[in-house]
Each structure stands twice: as C-alpha cells, then as structure tokens.
Amino acid sequence: MKTFQGKTLSWRIADGVIELTLDHAPCNEIGLAMLADLEQFVAALGTLKDEAHALIIFSARSEGFCAGGDLRELFRLSQEVTGAERLSGLRNFIERIHRVMNALDEAPFTTIAAVNGLTFGGGFELALTCDLIVADKMARFCFPELRLGLIPGFGGIPRLKRDLGNAVVRDLILTGRSINAAKAQSAGIVSQVAAEGDSLRVARETAAQLKKFDQNTALAAKRFIKQIPHEELRREIDIFCELFMRPAVEKGLRKFVESKDALPYLP
C-alpha cells in the first residue's frame, strides 16, 4: 500500500520516505478514531519496511503536532460505565495505545517527528517514540497530566527517562510546565530546531541524508542505541489505571470538559 487515507490521518511513500500526516481537529487528539487509524498504520509497517528507509510523522494542523489524549471522549466514555467496567475499558484502551507506541518505537527504519505548536501529553509521548524530533521554533512541550490527577499514560515517563537526566524528567512531570523548542533541545529532547513553519522541510532533508546509509546497519545501530523500557511501561499502565479510578480525576476531567477555553489547565 503506497497511500492510505483514514479518518484522522493519512500516509504516503515517496522516495523511500513514509510521511504520516496527522489531521484531526482541533489538534490531533488521540481518541478511539485516531487509535484505530494508528493501528492500521503499524499493521502495515511490516510491508512498508521493504520500500522505506525513513518515516516522518507530522501534523497538518496549525495548532500543533498533537494536544494529547482526547479527554472529552475519555470523560464521556468513562461516564457511560462504572466500576470494574470503567477500569477494564480504560485498561483496554491504554494497552492498545501502548502496542501502537511500542510498534512505532521499534519501527524497522529511522523515524522522525516533525513537530509544531502544541506537543502536549499523548502528543509528546507520540513524538518520544520517534528516533529524532525536529521542532518548529514555536513548538511547545508539556506533560500537564498531574493537573488532572494523573500521570502520562501513553509511555511518556519511561521514554523520557530513557532519553534524559532525571532532573529534567522530574521538572517536566512534577511541575507540569510547558517548555519551548530551544529548552527542549538543550535538555536533549529535540535534535534540531527549525525556523517557524519549516520543521517538515528539515525532517525531509534529514530523511534524505538517511538514505545514504545501508538500512540494515542503520537498523542495527537503532536497536543497539534505543531499547524499549518494557518493564517500566507495564508499571506505568498499572499506575495510570489505578489513579484514573480516583474521584479527583473525574473532577479534573469534568472541569476540563466543561471549560470553553482551548487549554483549560493552563494559566
């Protein structure tokens, strides 16, 4: 398959580079629809590897790369069920997300997230699965989950810990503050900062450079450098599900859902 058009994203291959475009209003929130499309994409990775040496994930939305999990959908679905059914529904969703994130993390070619604007929560976690992050200078990164009484649930903490020193990890998680692209680069999250509106071009130039190398060697290097922290990811799922069942989370989500502001948890 050379092209795919889903409800929330599309992909195409050109010159050995897969371009996966996220395009789901308002800012590529990851809910059931995007999860289903991402599952289709990772199911195709096995065949795509024969034709591709690189993958670029980027957003068609000017608001940003991805604002994270679809909290409105999550709240609505969680209100339809109670107790054990709520917990099993949540765990099933989170397990599916983790399978997608792990598949992207170990994709059999070099992966690049070309991010712009909001790269928050689950969107930040999606970017962290990639081998390289190229950021528009106006991109902003944040893990706001503690403001909702949660921790990141899509693999964020183990992947941050894999890449960064604990001081930065604790700062981002425990303060919930957002940082700009320059700070993210100095912290070691972002590999290149692009001019405003230029992250996709920079990612394409980078992908063209990758084509010069033997793909098997590149893959061996990637597997040596970047291993998936499976044990910590499992623990994250348990903690996330445990926290989600507390009344404070329902209260935080309700406040978020009922607010008319774009980012109710920010100042």
Partner 1 sequence: MSSLQSTTEEVLRLAAEHFKVPREQLAPDDDFFKKLGINSLQALDLLTRIEHHFKIELPDYELQGVSDFRTLAERIQLRL
Rule CB under 8 A: which residues touch partner 1? 63, 117-118, 137-138, 140, 175-180, 182-183, 261-264, 266-267
Q: How far is the CB of 180 from partner 1 (least distance, A)?
A: 5
Q: How far is the CB of 70 from partner 1 (least distance, A)?
A: 16
Q: Which is nearer to partner 1, 141 or 244 (CB)?
A: 141
Candidates 145, 205, 236, 258; catalytic one: 145
Q: Which is nearer to partner 1, 101 or 187 (CB)?
A: 187
Phi, psi (rounded to 5 degrees) for 193: -105, 125
Active site residue 125: yes
Q: Which is nearer to partner 1, 109 or 265 (CB)?
A: 265
Q: How far is the CB of 73 from partner 1 (least distance, A)?
A: 19
Contact predicate 153/69, CB 8 Å: yes
Q: How far is the CB of 156 from partner 1 (least distance, A)?
A: 18
> Quick one: residue 79, left, alpha or beta (phi over 0 = left, psi -120 to 50 = alpha)?
alpha
The tokens describing 107, both together, are: 């994709």
Q: Which is nearer to partner 1, 61 or 86 (CB)?
A: 61
HSE, CB side, 13 Å, CA atoms: give it for residue 61.
Answer: 20
Q: How far is the CB of 221 from partner 1 (least distance, A)?
A: 34
Candidates 51, 73, 85, 125; catalytic one: 125
Q: How far is the CB of 37 from partner 1 (least distance, A)?
A: 24
Active site residue 145: yes
Contacts of 211 (CB under 8 A, 6+ apart): 15, 16, 17, 53, 54
Q: Which is nearer to partner 1, 129 or 178 (CB)?
A: 178
259 to 73, 120, 149, 150: CA distances (angstroms): 14, 18, 17, 19
Residues acting as catalytic residues:
125, 145
